[in-house]
Amino acid sequence: KLILLDSLLQETSDCSCSDLYLMLQLPTRLVSSVNLPQLLVCSGIFNWGAMGSGPVKGFNAPEVQQIITKKHEAAQNKIAKEDAETATFAAGCFWGVQLAFQRVPGVASTMVGYTAGGKLHPTYNEVCSGSTGHTEGVQMLFNPAVVSYKELLMVLFDRMDPTHLNRQGNDRGTQYRSGVYYHTEEQKNIALEFIKEVQPKYSDKIMVEVKQAEKFWPAEDYHQKYLEKGSQKAAKGCLEPIKCYG
User: What 3-state class would DSSP assign to 8?
Assistant: helix
- CA triple 156-226-233, angle to 5 deg: 70
> Is the Cα torsion angle 183, 101, 62, 208 positive or negative in sign?
negative
Rg over CA atoms, the chain:
18
Cα distances from 196 to residues 18, 62, 129, 151, 193, in angstroms, run 32, 20, 33, 15, 5
Burial tier of 63 (Cβ tally within 10 Å: 0-12, 13-18, 19+): exposed
Q: Catalytic one among 93, 128, 238, 244?
A: 93
Are the C-beta atoms of 151 and 67 separated by less than 8 Å?
yes
Q: Which of 169, 174, 149, 146 is nearest to 159 (CA)?
A: 169
Q: Is 42 a catalytic residue?
A: no
Q: How far apart are CA 57 and CA 142, in angstroms?
A: 23
Catalytic residue numbers read 93
